[in-house]
Chain A
Amino acid sequence: MSDAQKGEQRGRARPMFGPGSRGHGMGIDKAKNVRGTLRRLLSYFRRYRTTLVFVFVLAAFGTAMALIGPYLMGVAIDRLVAREAASVLLRIVGLMAGTYVISWVAQTGQGVLIATIAQRAMRVLRGELFSHLQRLSLKFHDARASGDLMSRLTNDMDAISRVLSQNVTQLFSGMLTLVGILIVMFILSPYLAMASMVVLPLMVGVVALVGKKTRSAFRSYQKNLGILNGTLEETYSGQRVVMAYGQEERVLDRFDRENETVRRIGAYAMTYALLVMPMMGVMSNTNVAVVAGLGGWLAVKGIVSIGLIATFITYSRRFAEPLRQLGDLYNQVQSALAGAERIFEVLDTQPDLTDTADAVELANVKGDVSFDHVDFAYVEDVPVLKDVSLNARAGQTIALVGPTGAGKTTLVNLLTRFYDLDSGAIRIDGTNIRQVSRDSLRRSLGIVLQQSFLFAESVTENIRYGRLDATDEEVIEAATLANADRFIRRLPKGYDTVLSERGANLSEGQRQLLAIARAVLADPAILVLDEATSSVDTRTEVHIQEALHELMKGRTSFVIAHRLSTIRNADQVVVIDAGAIVEQGTHEELLARQGVYHRLYMSQFRGRAK
């Protein structure tokens, strides 16, 4: 039974390296197009074709050598029975050791080689997927939950990597071992081989039957575990709300119910999964009994030798392991293929915004920007912008004002070509931005977004993101201009402080200051500030405003803000409501007009205006 146990621990140990649960109810899933996916996955090995052939030769050779050992052992025992000279015995034992050593060399070599090329291929695949994600437009990213993409790049890759680097050769040598043992057994003694075969269909049947049961039980287990983990995730994320509303009991109630289900189904699924082991054990032992009993009888009749019986016992013990592995591998290969299919699905998404073939580079931008009868909808038939026209002369500051959802941010999305407009045109210095390359367009724009995003790098690196070749002095200069220098210097390591993920160790206001410093460093011709100071208190904002004021000098600037104080100094105030421009003019003009802007402005004086 020992072979079988070795397999058990290997099989059981496997999930420990991977994520125990895949979040939301993903069980053992199957690829839809197995053959196509497999072929495409294997195409990543094309470069290593020669090595791969060598790997399989080594695997076959190693397996064959390993199978010779038990045969030689039988021969040795027969020589013992025949009481031949010790020198004969020594020669056979030497041969045995030799074949085992050769087998070791072959199998180690094979394992090392396949591990190497599998990881290389994984690197290529990972890199390809990542580069492809970079090419896809925001439309794609907005529509996809990033958790889902993340899972593809991690869990799915992991599943594939495991199968490629370990299981493929396991599968191959497993099958070779099976076939090899069968052949050798029949050559050595058809009778004993036939007797062993009596147990074989039973073994196959058990593996298949239990395997099937296990799969469905596991699917249900994974699903329920997914639900439970989902509940936990949600509870913890909302723990403060749970506490604030005193809903602990309710949370625990639901948790207990789901936890109990998982326990019950888990016990059921595991019992089935682990049933294969004792089953294989009893089969294997039965086989030994049959071989020993029948073999003994045949030996007495002089048909087989004692050595042969010993050989058979060893073989039949080695038979169980690959058989069990095959059932186990089936699931892993299936879920790896399903993962591969999900990855290829992303790779097959065509980037929908590409530069035209004759796109020109936008250079030496003066900063005249015009929106000319722009229409846009994210989803067909739900227009977000309707016939928007506005002109910004070089150096002007344009304030965009309006209620949430009016379409202010959409204007930015269009100007940056995160999305392409449906009709109309946006021009910079008279050139339609559709005619220029997106990279050169974006290089001439400096954008500070609503949610400032920072990377888990040093403060310097984060600011330098605006211009990669900036010197340290320039970085500090930019930070100073953005009023960020002071707080940066108070960080534990100043500019070299490495931020935690997404800059979580900074306050929202500090994050925004860094994002502004980044834009300062980029030194763009056109500046876009999308609620850049919304999370900074108004007095700090005053500091930033000064900095921004400096920055905006000589640049065309688009400023989106809820706070009207931010936009009083603009050359033009554009009031947008429901996707259309409703008012346009300076702060004073618009106030005098007593229209929408006036109402928005006055609403700040609640109570007094009434």
Chain B
Amino acid sequence: MRSILRLFRFLRPYRWQSIGALALMVGMVVADLLIPRLTQRIIDEGIAKGDIRVIWGTALVMLAAALVSAMFAIGNNFLSVRAAQGFAADVRSALVRKVQSFSFANLDELRTGKLITRSTSDIHMTQMIVMMALRILTRAPIWIIGAVVMLVLTSTQLSLMMAAFVPVIVLFIWWFARKARPLFLWVQKKLDRLNTVLQENLAGVRVVKAFVREAHEIERFDVANVELMEKNIQVMRLVAILIPTMTLVLNLGVAGAVWFGGTATLAGDLTVGKVVASINYLMFALFPLMMLAAMLAPIAAADASASRILEVFDEEPDVKEKPNARKLTNPQGRIGFENVCFSYGNNCAEPVLSDVSFTAEPGETVAILGETGSGKSTLIHLIPRFYDVTDGRITFDRVDVRELKLHRLRSEIGVALQEAVLFGGTIRDNIRYGRPAASDEEVIAAAKAAQATEFIDALPEGYDTVIGQRGVTLSGGQRQRLAIARALLVKPKVLILDDSTSAVDIETEVKLQDALDRLIADSAHTTTRFIVAQRISTVLLADKILVLDKGQIAAMGTHEQLLETSPIYQDIYRSQLGEAPQVPTTDKGDSDE
């Protein structure tokens, strides 16, 4: 319950609606509770005394009470729905805004899938609970109290009898909650398991078929399927018992009221009308208890949702703009690394990068080479402050990047990330993503340099072809080329290509690099380039080649220099272009990470 209560602060802007809703609800309960009282009046003072005027008069009052109750209910409905919808919209909005402030480190922590469920189904759950809180959840206790008060007023004896039922019901609800909670969790677990198997089989259909494992998979699915079924049956059985049992308790209460009320009437202590009214109040008091019991599961579910949402809110964005951050004036694109150390755990004892120092002058091309896991991507992610350095500093035109306005810094840097993420929409919109105002000519020029025109022109609607979930699916190499075009279009001072041609064949890649050279040579301003690559061919012409090894710069220089001085570089060169590769000698260490 704690999590959901913490989220309730989002109701603050809607406090008047909420208070109004609650007030109307109290009014509604009062009007409803009047009705049995009026029935009693009709029986005891109308029928018993044969007074028809009392009967009609009271009936009219009853009608009026019914109408008033309905008006209150509609008002409550109107206000509570608005409060709940506003609540959900605000939580969602706060969540999205929070995510926008995240760095890559935060995103590593909270994966995309997690964020999506938190902003969709989890918010939906909490919204439903808020709505219920303003309608049923708080009504139930008020109702019970009201009914009990009325019951005591009508007949003290019968209310004492009812007191005997309370422990029975409380005990039953407690038993149910104890049994249901773990079961619901189990079902969720089994369902997750089933979905995992399913998802694997859809995504890995080629592997399943290649190894002829259909029968094996069907068996695996069936195990998960049967487990789910068994837990489901247990839960459903429990649920099937809940409502009839509560109804039974209620009905036995009514029977009890008839018996005790009846004997009291025969003894002359009660009127018949009071017995009928008591029965009605009894129903009024016991039904809310049933409602509460049935809501235990949704409340628990909503609380779990709320705690997942809070997990996002509690995540501290770890890259922040300084309050007095500077703007870049007349940027040149000079990038400097000074004794940079970086660790995902913010602990330079186990660094991903350590003691990295180098300078990229404006217009230079810096290539970064190294084994998987040697820290290449990490290095270039530090420049636009996707992560912040743990120690040392990175400068842009000799200014520490942490002193700069984040937005300005990033707008000077064009990045094509390793994983080419495109958005739903047209190809044109995707290329224009970083600069929506770009003209069609600029879009085409960028696409041309990225060697994307050939396949774009072959598409049925060219640049207007819709891609993504509802459109055409592109291959990995095609997506990478669009991502590069997108980066080129912003005309950045610093261009970063993070292994962004891995799925493009060598010939095309070479054309792309040449086009890039020309584009940059032709443009009015200089562009500093960082290229992370696997292939030697990609880096041959770079002004500086950094060879990273286990997070450190193992060698730095031009192709010719490195070929002479760096054994690692020679190794790489030979493995790709030379004769039969020599068996690498000593380092048996981390080559497979």
Contacts and interface: CB of A to CB of B under 8 A. Distances in A.
A242 B100 contact: yes
Contact of A97 (B99, B237, B252, B275): B252
A115 B96 contact: no
Interface string A503-533: 0000111100100001000100000000000
Contacts of B508: 403-404
Interface stretch (B156-164, B254-262, B388-396): B254-262
Interface stretch (A125-133, A175-183, A323-331, A420-428): A125-133
Interface in A275-327: 275, 277-279, 281-282, 285-286, 288-290, 292-294, 296-297, 299-300, 306, 309-310, 313, 317
A608 B539 CA distance: 12
B5 interface: no
A290 B60 CA distance: 9
Given A77-B272, A241-B417, A267-B85, A234 B424 contact: yes
Contacts of A445: 210
A219 B575 CA distance: 60
B539 to A, nearest CB: 9
Given A281-B73, A293-B55, A536 B372 contact: yes
Contacts, number: 523
Contacts of B212: 438-439, 442-443
Contact of B206 (A147, A418, A518, A599): A418
B302 interface: yes
Contact of A234 (B210, B276, B423): B423
B51, B77, B301, B374 — which one has the most chain A CB atoms within 10 A of its CB? B77
B378 interface: no
B131 to A, nearest CB: 7
Interface in A519-552: 522, 534-543, 545-546
Task: Tell me if B's interface is mostly helix, strand, loop or mixed.
Answer: helix
B240 A21 contact: no
Contact of B592 (A79, A119, A130, A540): A540
A244, A259, A563 — which one has the most chain B CB atoms within 10 A of its CB? A244
Interface stretch (A7-15, A37-45, A383-391, A392-400): A7-15
B504 A9 contact: no
Contacts of A403: 505, 507-508
Interface string B235-279: 011011101110110011011101100110110000011011001
Contacts of A416: 209-210
A32 interface: no
Given A270-B85, A604-B506, A563 B576 contact: yes
Interface string A72-112: 01001101110100100110110011001101100110111
Given A244-B386, A502-B203, A81 B272 contact: yes
A236 B507 contact: no
B70 interface: yes
A119 B534 contact: no
A300 B55 contact: yes
Task: Tell me if A's interface is mostly helix, strand, loop or mixed.
Answer: helix
Interface residues on B, range: 35 or more
Contact of B591 (A165, A260, A534, A540): A540
Interface stretch (B120-128, B322-330, B333-341, B348-356): B120-128
Given A1-B32, A107-B244, A242-B100, A296 B46 contact: yes
Given A266-B85, A502-B200, A509 B576 contact: no
Contact of B42 (A292, A455, A539): A292
A584 to B, nearest CB: 19
B84, B275, B536, B576 — which one has the most chain A CB atoms within 10 A of its CB? B576
A134 B214 contact: yes
A240 B107 contact: yes
Nearest 9 A/B pairs, CB to CB = A293-B59, A111-B240, A20-B124, A285-B66, A278-B73, A115-B236, A282-B70, A296-B55, A289-B62
